[in-house]
Amino acid sequence: MDYLPQYARVFDTVEGNSTFYGLPSPAAIARWRAETPQDFRFCFKFPSEITHRLMLRDARLQTHAFLQLMAPLADRLGPLMIQLGPRFGPQHLENLRRYLRDLSSEFCYAVEVRHAQFFDQGPDEAALNEVLRQARVDRVLFDTRCIHAARATDRSTREAQSRKPVLALRKQVTAQRPIVRFVGQNQVEPALEYLQVWVEQIAEWLAQGLNPYFFAHTPDDREAPALASALYQRVRQLRPELPPLAIFAGTPEPDRAASANAQLSLFDTPRPR
């Protein structure tokens, strides 16, 4: 199915997860641009070779290759996300500072951390936030509370719980484009109480003139668009000037799961238009 064009009729941004594992072809980049409207924004992840294998050291050539590939989408990009693994701790913070300093100013960026000491409400977390503020880079706020509260009765939930870290909730803003990555369950209803903190926070960010991004995940990602839509409707109750949201017709049917999962390997998570 033409998943991306359908998706882009409703939502105005997408988290591109596939670049974490490998670079797409220039032809794919051109196709994605052609299939989306001018105000659509792609938020791709930096390759894991840079963030996990090299841990931001001696990665100039790999970084140049990635950003050069992104260049045809330069005016269509949201923050490019630097997702750092649990091994990247306070002892590596200087790597991050230097890496951000040397990045091209043509793009904007966001950083996600998973090391426990960056959630200690102490000097290590304060040092991380200061590095990001000085670089004018956003901190990705990763909310896994809902998925870890689920009963693991199916394989996708068990896999999600094994892969997603248990992290303290954070709402700090270090630049102008706060990003929330929210992991729900395979039904929308259990997530609603966990969403409420973000409904209020996003409404406040909008009132402050910030440009927040919200990406909704579920273990099998079939309900991710519905989850994002639920959040948007609640934010709109607080910010009624927001436009109404169209109905997303691209939710995959169970008998098309294999095809849909192939599509969703790139288009992980939506933020409502």
Q: What is the pLDDT of residues 198-245, one digit of tens each?
A: 999 999 999 999 999 999 999 998 999 999 999 999 999 999 999 999
Q: Is residue 76 part of a domain?
A: yes
265 pLDDT above the threshold of 70: no
Per-residue pLDDT band at 166 (split at 50, 70, 90) = very high
Structural domains counted in the chain: 1
Per-residue pLDDT band at 257 (split at 50, 70, 90) = very low
Please tell me the predicted confidence (pLDDT) of residue 149: 96
**How does 159-192 read in b/e, with b if 16+ C-beta sit within 10 Å?**
ebbeebeebeebeebbbebbbbbbbbbbebeebe
Cα distances (angstroms) measured from residue 156 to each of 150, 163, 180, 185: 11, 11, 22, 10
Cross-strand partners of 43: 15
Position 57: which residue type? R
Q: What distance in Å separates the CA atoms of residue 18 and residue 21, rounded to the nearest whole number? A: 6
Give the CATH number of the domain where residue 140 resides: 3.20.20.410
Average pLDDT, the chain: 90
Proportion of the chain above pLDDT 90, given as a percent: 87
Please tell me the predicted confidence (pLDDT) of residue 3: 85
Per-residue pLDDT band at 256 (split at 50, 70, 90) = very low
Q: In this structure, what token pair is assigned to residue 162? A: 């094994």
Q: Is residue 273 part of a domain?
A: no
* Length of the chain counted residue by residue: 273
Q: Is residue 71 part of a domain?
A: yes
Q: What distance in Å separates the CA atoms of residue 18 and residue 2, rounded to the nearest whole number? A: 18
Q: What is the pLDDT of residues 86-133, one digit of tens each?
A: 999 999 999 999 999 999 999 999 999 999 999 999 999 999 999 999
Residue with tokens 């929210």: 182
51 pLDDT above the threshold of 90: yes
261 pLDDT above the threshold of 90: no
Please tell me the predicted confidence (pLDDT) of residue 255: 34
Q: Is residue 272 part of a domain?
A: no
- The domain of 38 spans 3-267
